[in-house]
Structure 1
Amino acid sequence: MPFPAAIAVLFRRVEAATLIVILVIGAALWAFVALAAEMLEGDLHAFDQAVLLALRTPGDTANPIGGRGLEIAMRDITALGGVTVLTLITALVLIFLILQRQRATAMFLGVAILGGQMLSHLMKSSFSRPRPDLVPHGVDVATASFPSGHSMMAAVTYLTLAVILARAEKKTSIRAFYIVTAAFIAILVGISRVYLGVHWPSDVLAGWSLGAAWALTVWIVARMMARRGQIEPDRQG
C-alpha cells in the first residue's frame, strides 16, 4: 500500500478526539523541551526573576503580596500537590474503583501514578537546578527545582484520576467537570509554588507541561487497553 494511502487509512481508524489528544501531547512535550533548553542556557532568568519579584511587596522581598491571609491560603493550596495528600487521594480513588469492581482499572491507575512519580524524580535529578534564592522560601524544600515536582505531580495525579473516573461516567457534563476541576487544582498548586518563592515560574510551566503530557498519554493507553479487554470498558453514553 502506498504511504499516503496508508496514512489515510490510519487517520480513518483513529478517532478525531484521539488525534487531538496526540497533538496536545506533542505540544506539551515540545514546551517542556523548549523550557529545559532555555533554562540550561540561562535565557529564562530575567522572566523568572521578574515574575517572582512581582509577587513580593516592593522594597521587601520577604513579604508576599496579598497579606498574611493569602500567604496562609497558598500554603494550604500547595499541600494539595504534596506526597501525603496525593497519596491519600489516590488511595481513596483506588478503593472506590475496587468497590466498583473495576480492579483492572485500579491496578492500571496505580501503575500510572507511580510511573509519573518516577518520571518526576528522574527529571529533577537530571537537571538539578538550584531553588530560587531571590526571595525567602514560604515552605521547607529539599529537592531540586526543575521541573516543579508539586506542579508536575498535581497535573499527573489529578488529571490522571480525572480521566480514569471520566471513563466510568456517562454524562458528558460530569466528565468535563472532572477534567476542569483537576486542571484548576493543578494550576493553583503551581501558582502557590511560585508565590511561596520555592520555584521559578519556568519550573512550574515545565511541571505542568510534562504532567499534562503524561496524564493524556495515560488516557490514550487506557482507551487502547479497554478495547482489547485488558481493563474495564469506557462507559461513554
Structure 2
Amino acid sequence: MQFRRLAQPVLDRVSRMEAATLFTLAFLAGGLFLFVKLVGEIREGDTHALDDDILLSLRHVDDLSLPIGPAWLAHALNDITSLGGVTVLSIITLLSCLYLLLARRRDVAIFMLISVAGGYAVSALLKLGIARPRPDIVPHLVDVHDLSFPSGHAMLSAVTYLTIGALLARAQPTRATRLFMIGAAIFLTLIVGISRVFLGVHYPTDVLGGWCAGALWAMLCWFVARKTLQRPASEETER
C-alpha cells in the first residue's frame, strides 16, 4: 500500500505523457543500452572474429586487396563514402541552414547548427575515449588516419542527415514531404556506413556503433526541438 502511494505520482505523470514522448524516451534508453553493451563486447574482444569474417567475405580469397563484385561497385562506394566526410557534411549543413534562414526559420537554423556541431564533438570524444585501432586484416581502399570506433563517417552521417532531415521535416507543409525527408536521411546514413565496411577501413561493429550513437544524438535533438521550437502554421494543413 505504501509502495502504491509512492509510485502513484510517477504513474500519473507517465499517463499524461504523449505517445511520441514515451516512444522517444524508450528509444533513447534502448539505444544507450545497446551502445554501452556494444562497447563492452568490443573491449572484451567478443566481436573480433565476426568482424574479421565479414571483412574477409568482402574480398577475393586469393587477393585481399581486391573487393568482391564488379569494378564499378568499388568505384561507386568510394564516391558514396565521401557523402559522410566532414567537408561534404559541413557544406550540406550550411546550405540547409541557409535554406531555413530564407524560409524565415532562424530559430531552427541556429538549433540545427548547434546540434550538428555538438554531434561532431561527441564523435571525437568517443573515438578518443574508446581508442580502437583500425582493422588491418584487409588492405584499406581509401586513406584513413584516425581511430576506428565509432565510425566517424557512420556517426556523423547519422548526426547530420538525421538531424537535418528531422528539422527540415518540421518545416514541410505536408506529411508526404516530411516522410520523404526522413526516409532520404535514413537512406544516406545507411549507404555511407555500408561503404566504410566495404572499403575495409572500419569493422562492422564500428559502423553499428556509429549508427547507434548518431541516431541517439539525432533523436535527442529532435525531441528537444519538438519541445522548444515553434511549428509553422502551414504544417497543420495536411494530416
Normalised-by-shorter TM-score class: over 0.9
- Aligned counterpart for 2:20 among listed residues 17, 20, 25: 17
The one-letter code of the counterpart of 2:57 is A
> What is the total number of aligned residue pairs between the two structures?
232
Q: 1:233 aligns to what? A: 231
Which residues in structure 2 correspond to 1:145-184 (within 5 Å)? 145-184=148-187
Would you say 1:221 and 2:224 are equivalent positions? yes
Which residues in structure 2 correspond to 1:1-237 (within 5 Å)? 2-226=5-229, 232-233=230-231, 235=233, 236-237=235-236
Distance in structure 2 (CA, Å) of the matches to 1:26 and 1:217: 11
**1:131-151 deviations in Å (ceiling 9; x for gaps):** 010111111111100000000
The one-letter code of the counterpart of 2:74 is E
Seen in structure 2, the aligned counterparts of structure 1 residues 3 and 223 have a Cα distance that, compared at 3 Å, is farther
State the Cα distance separating 1:176 from its structure 2 match. 1.4
Q: Is the 8 A contact 1:25 1:213 kept in 2?
A: yes
State the Cα distance separating 1:106 from its structure 2 match. 0.8
Distance in structure 2 (CA, Å) of the matches to 1:34 and 1:23: 16
Distance in structure 2 (CA, Å) of the matches to 1:173 and 1:20: 21
SS in 2 for 1:61: strand
TM-score by length of 1: 0.94
SS in 1 for 2:104: coil
**1:105-155 deviations in Å (ceiling 9; x for gaps):** 111110000000000000001111110101111111111000000000000
SS in 1 for 2:14: helix
The one-letter code of the counterpart of 1:10 is R
Q: Is the 8 A contact 1:113 1:156 kept in 2?
A: yes
Distance in structure 1 (CA, Å) of the matches to 2:168 and 2:223: 14
Seen in structure 2, the aligned counterparts of structure 1 residues 111 and 91 have a Cα distance that, compared at 3 Å, is same
State the Cα distance separating 1:13 from its structure 2 match. 3.0
Distance in structure 2 (CA, Å) of the matches to 1:223 and 1:15: 12
State the Cα distance separating 1:170 from its structure 2 match. 3.0
Structure 2: gaps spanning 5 or more residues: none
TM-score by length of 2: 0.93
Structure 1: gaps spanning 5 or more residues: 227-231
Distance in structure 2 (CA, Å) of the matches to 1:182 and 1:150: 14
Distance in structure 1 (CA, Å) of the matches to 2:75 and 2:193: 15
